[in-house]
Amino acid sequence: MIRLYWKRLKQNRLALAGLGVIGLLALLALMAPHLVPHDPIHQDLLHRLEPPSRFHPIGTDDLGRDVLSRLVYGTRISLMVGFVAVGISVVIGTLLGLVAGYYGKWVDACLMRLVDTMLSVPTIFLILAVIAFLEPNIYNVMAVIGLTAWPGLTRLVRGECLSVRERDFVQAAKIVGLSAPRILGWHLLPNVIAPILVSATLGVGGAILTESALSFLGLGVQPPIPSWGNMLTLGRDYLHLAWWLSLFPGLAILITVLAFNLLGEGLRDVLDPRAGT
Partner 1 sequence: MTTYLLRRLLYLIPTLWGITVLSWGLMQLAPGGPLDQMVALNVKVSPEVKVRLTRELGLDQPWYVQYGRWLKRLSRLDFGQSFKDGQPVLRKIATRLPATLLLNSLAIGVILLVAVPLGVYAAVRQGGWFDRLTTIWVFIGYSTPAFWLALLLMILLGLKLGWLPISRLTSLGFPGFPWWGKAWDLLRHLVLPVFVLAFTGLAGLSRYTRASMLEVIRQDYIRTARAKGLRESRVIIRHALRNALIPILTLLGFIVPDLIGGSVIVETIFAYPGMGRLSYEAIMTRDYFVVMGVVVISAFLTVLGNLLADLSYAYADPRIRYR
Residues that bind partner 1 (CB under 8 A): 14, 113-114, 116-126, 128-134, 205, 209, 212-213, 216-219, 232, 235-236, 239-240, 243, 246-247, 249-250, 253-254, 257-258, 261-262, 265, 277
Contact yes or no for 148/123 (Cβ under 8 A): yes
| Residues in Cβ contact with 53 at an 8 Å cutoff, skipping those fewer than 6 apart | 59
Q: Minimum distance between the CB of residue 234 and partner 1, rounded to whole angstroms? A: 11
Q: What angle do CA 7, 10, 13 make, to 5 degrees?
A: 155
Identify the three-state secondary structure at position 185.
helix
Q: Which CB atom, from 120 or from 179, has the smaller least distance to partner 1?
A: 120
Q: Minimum distance between the CB of residue 61 and partner 1, rounded to whole angstroms? A: 15
Q: Minimum distance between the CB of residue 6 and partner 1, rounded to whole angstroms? A: 22
Which of 128, 166, 169 is CA-nearest to residue 148? 128
Our measurement of the distance from residue 179's CA atom to the centroid of its chain's CA atoms, rounded to an integer in Å, reads 34
Q: Which CB atom, from 81 or from 170, has the smaller least distance to partner 1?
A: 81
Q: Which CB atom, from 44 or from 83, has the smaller least distance to partner 1?
A: 83
Q: Which CB atom, from 184 or from 231, has the smaller least distance to partner 1?
A: 231
Q: Minimum distance between the CB of residue 24 and partner 1, rounded to whole angstroms? A: 16
> Which ranges constitute the DSSP H helices of 104-227?
105-120, 123-133, 138-148, 151-165, 168-176, 180-182, 189-216
Q: Minimum distance between the CB of residue 228 and partner 1, rounded to whole angstroms? A: 8
Q: Minimum distance between the CB of residue 7 and partner 1, rounded to whole angstroms? A: 21
Q: Which CB atom, from 88 or from 170, has the smaller least distance to partner 1?
A: 88
Which of 256, 182, 175, 168 is CA-nearest to residue 212? 256
The CA radius of gyration of the chain, in Å to the nearest whole number, is: 22
Q: Which CB atom, from 72 or from 131, has the smaller least distance to partner 1?
A: 131
Q: Minimum distance between the CB of residue 180 and partner 1, rounded to whole angstroms? A: 25
Question: In angstroms, rounded to a whole number, what is the distance separating the alpha carbons of residues 178 and 40?
Answer: 55
Identify the three-state secondary structure at position 243.
coil
Our measurement of the distance from residue 133's CA atom to the centroid of its chain's CA atoms, rounded to an integer in Å, reads 23
Question: In angstroms, rounded to a whole number, what is the distance separating the alpha carbons of residues 191 and 198?
Answer: 13
Q: Which CB atom, from 183 or from 214, has the smaller least distance to partner 1?
A: 214
